[in-house]
Structures are given as structure tokens and as C-alpha cells.
Chains A and B, each alone.
Chain A
Amino acid sequence: MKRYLNSWSTIIIVFTLLYFLKAFLPAAFLTEVAIYSIYAMGCSFLIGRLGLTSFGQPAFLAFGAYGAGIYLYYFGTNPFVAILVGVLASVVVNMLVGLFFVRLNSSYFTLCNQAFCVVTFFLFQKALVKWTFGDNGLLLISRMDPTPVIDLTSPKGIYLFAFIVAALVWFFYNYLMKRSVFGATCLCVKDNEQKLRFLGYKTYNIKWLAFVIANTTAGLAGALYTVYFCMVNANIASVSSASEAVAISMLGGAGTLFGPLVGTFIFIGLKDIASQFIRHWEVLVGLLLIVVMLAGQKGIVGSLEGYLAKYTAKKSEPTPALTQEGGV
């Protein structure tokens, strides 16, 4: 069973199903789910596979978003190039920031990340206000040219593109988490860093690379966001949304493959429904975090995989797989 859950074809099936869900659900909601799940994937990887909780993810989202936004506002009109520029900008920032942050132990890492998030917010809101226009932001409507093959300026085009990118990201993380040696060493870092160091691995390099990969995923989501909403303002890096990525990861199951997708689907769905009844959305996010943490910290997919493993073990599967699933 577990083999089916983690195979390539499952990813294709899940995303195709999700794509055709637009017959029942609004396309805007599904586009947001696709983009936000990419963002949550990075955070989930950091928490579940590396043991680093980051409350500063909006900062990394913002660098990708502003990379794309500034390119579109000042230099060019091609949204594909803009996304590329956003990703490159976030790679450069992550490589530099990672050099400092990865040395810290996990408590310091979390606090530093949140501090970094606030500093990034001030950077885009106040320090670079000449170029970013602070809270008003960069308005990019009619600054993008229609593109061939997939037209990113039309809602249909961006919908398709967001799903293709999300599926590619999932392929990549599937490879990273289940097949590659690097993914396995990441898990070792989380479980017993000292032992890994004793075995001769340079844990600093492993953590740095994982940090760059995870946060570049966030940057990619940020760049998609800019193209999708045709605007970017400083609020994208605001601290009050800092917990969303963590909440989604914990809800879906940190470190699981489909956890971020399920988490995002439920989270954004809840947000859309609840915001019609509740004025202040933080209450629900806070409650969600508390409930998920007290209910066992495994998240939805994490718990489901546990049940499935039990179920299939009863049905005479000789040895359970070597990979370790779910949980923090």
C-alpha cells in the first residue's frame, strides 16, 4: 500500500484529479491551493525531515515574490522570465542566509527565522520603499505580455501552469525524500546529528543544502503568487502570517509527501468558509495549531499512513518499508 502512496503515478493521478475538481470548486480557490501547497511543501520538509521549525517562511516567500515583481515592474514583460528571476533571487538570498542560520541549534534557528521575517518586512516596507512602494506595492496589471503555449496572463493558463509546477515540485520532493541518499541523510540529521557527524558526514553542508532547497521552493511559490495576483506588497512578509506554513505542515503531517497538499486544501478551504462567519481569522489558526499539537503532532496524512501501515501489515506484507514516516 505504501508503495502506491509514494509512486510517481500517484502524484500524477492526485494532481489530475485536483485539476478537474474545478468542475465543482471555484478555480481561484484551487489555484491558491496549488500555489500555497508548494510554499507549504518547503516548510513541511524543513520540519519533518530536518527537524528545523521555521516561523520565518513569509520572508523566503517574499524574496521570490519581489524578485518576480521587480523584474516585471522595471525590466521586462515576460512572466516566465519573471518566475525564473524570482527563483534565482531567492536562491541567492537563501544561500547567504543559510550560511548564518544553519549553524544554530533548532531553538535559535526558529527565533532567528522569525526575526529575519520581521527584518525582511521592514526591508520591503521601509528601507527599499523607493523601489518597492511599501504597503501599496508594485501593481503589475497590464505589465505582462501574453505568452505562447501557456498564457500566464489568463486565469486558465495560470491555473494549468500552477498545477504543472506543483506536480513537478512533488516529483522532485518524492525523489528527494524517498529515493535519494541526500533525503535519508537529512532524516539522520533530525534523528541523531552527532552520530552522523561521527560517521564522517558534514552535517553543516547537508543542512545548508536542505535549507536552500526548501526555501527556494517557498521562493518559487512567491514568484507564482506575484504572477497570479499581478501585484506584490510588503504584507506578503508580514509576521502575522508567519505561522500559516507551520500550521499547514502540522495539519497535513510534517515530512509526509501529500501532507502539505491535504493541509493546504483544508486550511484554505477553512479560511474561505470561516472568513464569512468569523471576523478575525487568527483565532482559528491558533486553535488549529493547539489541537494538532495536542492530538499527537502527526497530522492528517501522518496518522492515515500509520493506519494504512497497520492495515497492510495485517494483510501479510513481509517487512515494513525502511523509510520512516510522519511525525516530528
Chain B
Amino acid sequence: MNGQLLISAIVLGLSMSGIYFLLTVGLSLCYGLMRMISLDQFFYYALGAYMVYTVTSLTGSFWLGMLGAMLTTLVAAFVVERLIVKRVYSKPVMFSMILTFGVNLLGVGLIKYVWGLSPKPVASPISGIMNIFGTGVPIYRLFVIVLAVVVYLAVQYFLNKTILGTAIRAGIDDAEKVEALGININRLFTLTFLLSSVLSALAGVIHAPFVMVSPEMGMSITAFAFMVVIIGGLGSIKGTMVSALIVGQVVSIGALIWAPLAEMAPFLVMMIILLIKPTGLYGSKLMNR
């Protein structure tokens, strides 16, 4: 294994980490703040990717596509939340899990109706190549890494430093008391749900130039997303970030050694971490429900 390959694998791994983080931060927010597992995030991810394909091929601008994808997802997530998800906030996790899996399947089916089965290409918006230690690295990958870091900092700031974030966090511990303070907790939950879905869509948008956009893309990335969430510990944003970094590197360096390792190695890592700590790296025992 030579150094150049290794450097490009590490950069690829970091950009994959960025995508995994953006995809799973939605799951983590939903679990951490609302105690629900929202599997429909994968539908928003695929929807984001398809919208960026459509808008980009219509207008020619990727950035416009990004905006369009996020707005469309916002509307879709709002409809889903009002019609379906709203009803299971107070129920055990299993309800939200099965229900949102149904939403996910429905979404995948609808995508197949609208866009057909054939995979669609999306051109990378930044085509330049940067030289790092003599290895050519596409600038777009670096952009993905920077974007993920920015989103991580923004989410942490939102949750810990703003009044709204504090209210959401208080809402988990004692919903009644928060409502007594005059805060509409259902509106906060809607807000959290929309925020997570937009972040998932963003993951789909920035992942689109890496892969072909296909209806099953949301399904095929579930395994990695779950591994990230489980290794980091459900509901912890910091844990999600750390485990996204681990999984990204394991995937890209594993693929260098033996191609099938890309899928197997993260699973082994997950198993080992679960053996040591059944709630993941940063998961708390309190969330045993």
C-alpha cells in the first residue's frame, strides 16, 4: 500500500464521514430530543438527492438544486409530521420505528413512480483538484468535510446556547413543566423533526455527486447509518460525530485492503464496541426504553 493511495483513502474516508454524519444527525436529533426513531430520514435523503438532480438538470446550478431539495424536503417532512408522525410522539419507540419505516417504504415507492428505476447522474459542482502531499484530492471532498464540521458546530450551538435549543432539551425531561412555562412543546417537536429532515436531505444532496442517484440509495445506506448511530450511541450528537469519523475511515481503508471489507469491517467494529458498551460510545444508560 503506497502513501498516495493512503492519503486519498483517508480524505475519501473523511468526506464519507461527513456524509454519514449529516445523514445520522437527523436520526440522533429525533432520538435524543423526541425519543423516537425516525427511519423516514432515509426517504428525505433520497428525496434530496433526486431533487438536486432534477433542479440541476433544469437550471444548471447545483447550489440552486441544494436550495430546492431542502425546501421540497421541508414541505414533505411537514406533511408527514402533521399527518402521521405527530400521533406517535408519546408512544414507545417501537411504534415510531415501524410507522416511519412504512413512511420510508411509501416514499421509495413514490420516488420510483416519479423518477423511474434508472440511476441518474449528478455532476460535481466543484471540479478542481487540490494537491496534498503530492496527492491530487478533489476539492469537492474537502468541501463536504468543511460543510459537515460547520453543521456539527451549528447544531451544537443551537442545542446548547440558544433559548430554543434549551427548551427542546428541557422538553424531554419534563414536558408538562415546559408547557406550563408557556412553551408549545408540539411546535418544538415539529421544529426538531423538520430540522432533522432538512439535514438528511442535505446529506442526500452532497452525496449525489459521489454516487448515481437511484431509488434504493436510501435503503442501501441504512446499514452504515445504523452502524454510525449505534457505535456513537443513540441520541448523542457528539457520539454520532466521533463514530462517523471511525466508520468513514474503516470503510475507505477497509476497501483498500479487500473490497468486501468495506461493508463487513464497520459491522465488526460495531460488534466489538457493543460487546464493551451495549449503549454505544456516548449513549447514556438513562435512555433504556
Contacts and interface: CB of A to CB of B under 8 A. Distances in A.
Interface residues on B, range: 35 or more
A282 B108 contact: yes
Tell which of B113, B260, B280 has the most Cβ of chain A within 10 Å: B260
A303 interface: no
B234 A239 contact: no
Interface stretch (A109-117, A137-145, A163-171): A109-117
Q: Which 3 A-B pairs have the closest CB atoms?
A: A289-B102, A286-B106, A118-B223
Contacts of A131: none
Interface of A: 51, 53, 55, 100, 103-108, 110-112, 114-119, 122-123, 126-127, 239-240, 243, 246-247, 250, 279-290, 293-294, 297, 328
Given A107-B31, A243-B101, A282-B105, A115 B230 contact: yes
Contacts, number: 138
Interface string B89-105: 00001110111011111
A122 B258 CA distance: 13
Contacts of B223: 114-115, 117-119, 239
A294 B99 contact: yes
A283 B216 CA distance: 14
B227 interface: yes
B146 interface: no
B104 A279 contact: no
B81 to A, nearest CB: 13
A282 B84 contact: no
Contact of A250 (B98, B263, B278, B288): B98
B229 interface: yes
A283 B112 CA distance: 10
Nearest to A122: B263
B38 to A, nearest CB: 12
Contacts of B260: 122-123, 126-127
B119 interface: no
B270 interface: yes
Nearest to A100: B271
A318 B84 CA distance: 41
A287 B106 contact: yes
Nearest to B104: A286
Given A53-B98, A239-B222, A285-B105, A126 B259 contact: yes
Nearest to B271: A100
8 contacts: A100-B275, A106-B93, A112-B230, A116-B267, A279-B112, A280-B109, A282-B112, A297-B95
Given A100-B271, A282-B108, A294-B99, A108 B230 contact: yes
A110 B27 CA distance: 14
A279 B234 CA distance: 36
Nearest to B258: A127
B13 interface: no
Given A106-B93, A118-B263, A280-B113, A111 B106 contact: no
Contacts of B87: 294
A100 B280 CA distance: 13
B275 to A, nearest CB: 7
B110 interface: yes
Given A51-B94, A243-B105, A122 B264 contact: yes
B220 interface: yes
Contacts of A240: 108, 216, 219
Nearest to B262: A122
B252 interface: no
B264 A123 contact: yes
A246 to B, nearest CB: 6
Contact of B102 (A108, A122, A280, A293): A293
A274 to B, nearest CB: 11
B197 interface: no
A293 to B, nearest CB: 4
A304 B101 CA distance: 26
